[in-house]
Structure 1
Amino acid sequence: MNAIDGYLGDLDARLHGPSSAKTDLLTEARDGLTDAAEAYRAGGFDEAEAERRAVADFGPADLIARDYQAELGLRRDIRVLWELIVGVPLLILGWDFARGFGDWSRLGAPPSWYHRAIGAADTLAALSPVVAVAGLLAARLLSRRATGPVAARAVSWSLAGAVGLNLLAVATYGGATGFLEPARLIVSVPCAVLSATWILFSMRLTVAARSWRTTA
């Protein structure tokens, strides 16, 4: 195994994340190392020495892996943010549409505290994609002005906030409705489907956000 392949193998073993994104980063690294080695060969060094010098110039694998890992995390977080930005508003609109298929008159009028709780949940649900959009804007700005780890950290916190707000909204919806009358969640088939879909979607977002933290 030559010096470049050995270095890339070490780098690959240190990285965790989507395979396509890892492949892109490693391909960029290989191209840079190959170009540097060719320059050294043109300067009169033999192939082995040229590759060794190219690897040395590129930097220690542990330091490069740290920056690459931050980039992988940034890409993963941005993808999850987009899922939340699109998914949560669609679920809100879907639930409002599904309400029209239920016979709410048989359930009776809810108390005033329930309206306040649902209003609070609506606000939390609406804020979730807003925070996600702020995270994307932060990613764009910080990627130009700061190092990879700094931008990744900012987006990571935005993702945690957006996912947390969505989870709190779902918990408030379900908790208030379950306490008052669970039948309201399944007053019609569309309502039951939307309730289950929102819960599963929220779980998926949470797992996607946490899975990166456990591999970082």
Structure 2
Amino acid sequence: MSPADRLVQEYAADLTAALHGPAKAKSRLVEEVRDGLADTAAAYADAGLSEEEAAHRAVREFGTVGELAPSCQRELTVAQARHTARAVTLTAPFLLGCWHLARTAGHDPAVARLLAVHLAFVATVAALLAAATLAATGSLARRLPTPERLPLVVAWAGTTASGAMAAATLALAAAAALATDWALLAFAGALAAAAHAAIAPSARTCRRCARLPKPATG
């Protein structure tokens, strides 16, 4: 590997380490930067610079990793918000199923079942918010800028839904242990647990991304 290629690869590796977000989006973004850096270095080399000097000139033109990372991270943060919103939205059928089973599976014990219904309702509201987020960051984003705090709102909506599902799982497990129609409540608990497992990791990553430094403006 030539010194120029090594410099480009090191730049790409440092940028990869500095960014957080969905793996595919992150890989695609770093690949675009790597290709752009390599093309710029090649253009400088064609203009008469040595390969190594051409690579250093390209890096100076692109900016340091510290200078470039915040703007790249902004793009990945929005992508992570969409990923989290999609995870919450796709669990909506599970949440509605949990809600329906908790409401219809007999009458005792009432307190645990009522708690599960309310928790499922909270998670369903979060799913509706997530669906609105997908719209706001999709085609609508071509005409209107994405609100700066939207990723953090999505992160906490996902966290709320995940926490509600974890609590609903415990409540439904307790209800199933005491109810005669325990099978339906156990199934509802399994749905709640699956929803929690699907949302929690993405919401945690979204919170982390939303708290990272923003690109400078002005």
Equivalents in 2 of 1:98, 1:109: separation in Å?
11
Equivalents in 2 of 1:91, 1:85: separation in Å?
10
Q: CA deviation at 1:128?
A: 1.6
Alpha carbons 1:136, 1:155 under 8 Å: kept: no
Per-residue Cα deviation, 1:102-137 (whole angstroms, up to 9, x for no partner): 5x3xx5695xx8897676445423312111012223
Give the AA of the match of 1:126. T
Give the AA of the match of 2:155. L
Alpha carbons 2:168, 2:189 under 8 Å: kept: no
| Cα distance change, pair 92–25 in 1 and its aligned pair in 2 (3 A) | same
Alpha carbons 1:38, 1:50 under 8 Å: kept: yes
Equivalents in 2 of 1:109, 1:189: separation in Å?
14
Q: CA deviation at 1:19?
A: 3.7
Equivalents in 2 of 1:6, 1:181: separation in Å?
56
Q: CA deviation at 1:214?
A: 4.5
Q: CA deviation at 1:86?
A: 1.6
The corresponding residue for 1:159 is: 155
1:183 to 2:205 alignment: no
Is the helix fraction higher in 1 or 2? 1
Q: CA deviation at 1:195?
A: 1.0
Equivalents in 1 of 2:10, 2:108: separation in Å?
70
Alpha carbons 1:134, 1:158 under 8 Å: kept: no
Superposition map of 1:96-115 within 5 A: 96=100, 104=106, 110=110
- Superposed CA RMSD in Å reads 3.7
Structure 1 length as normaliser, TM-score?
Answer: 0.72
Superposition map of 1:41-60 within 5 A: 41-60=45-64
| Cα distance change, pair 19–83 in 1 and its aligned pair in 2 (3 A) | closer
1:14 to 2:12 alignment: no
Q: CA deviation at 1:11?
A: 1.5
Helix, strand or coil for the counterpart of 1:208?
Answer: helix
Equivalents in 1 of 2:49, 2:66: separation in Å?
27
Alpha carbons 2:162, 2:200 under 8 Å: kept: no
Give the AA of the match of 1:75. A
Alpha carbons 1:170, 1:199 under 8 Å: kept: yes
Structure 2 length as normaliser, TM-score?
Answer: 0.71
Alpha carbons 2:15, 2:65 under 8 Å: kept: yes
- Number of aligned residues: 205
1:83 to 2:87 alignment: yes
Q: Greater shift after overlay, 40-49 or 50-59?
A: 40-49
Give the AA of the match of 1:90. F
Equivalents in 1 of 2:76, 2:178: separation in Å?
44
Helix, strand or coil for the counterpart of 1:16?
Answer: coil
Give the AA of the match of 2:154. S
1:125 to 2:123 alignment: yes
Equivalents in 1 of 2:113, 2:10: separation in Å?
63
1:30 to 2:34 alignment: yes
Q: Is there any run of 5+ residues in structure 2 with no aligned partner, and where?
A: 213-218
Give the AA of the match of 2:75. E
Equivalents in 1 of 2:117, 2:19: separation in Å?
43
The corresponding residue for 1:208 is: 202
Q: CA deviation at 1:176?
A: 9.2
Equivalents in 1 of 2:56, 2:126: separation in Å?
49
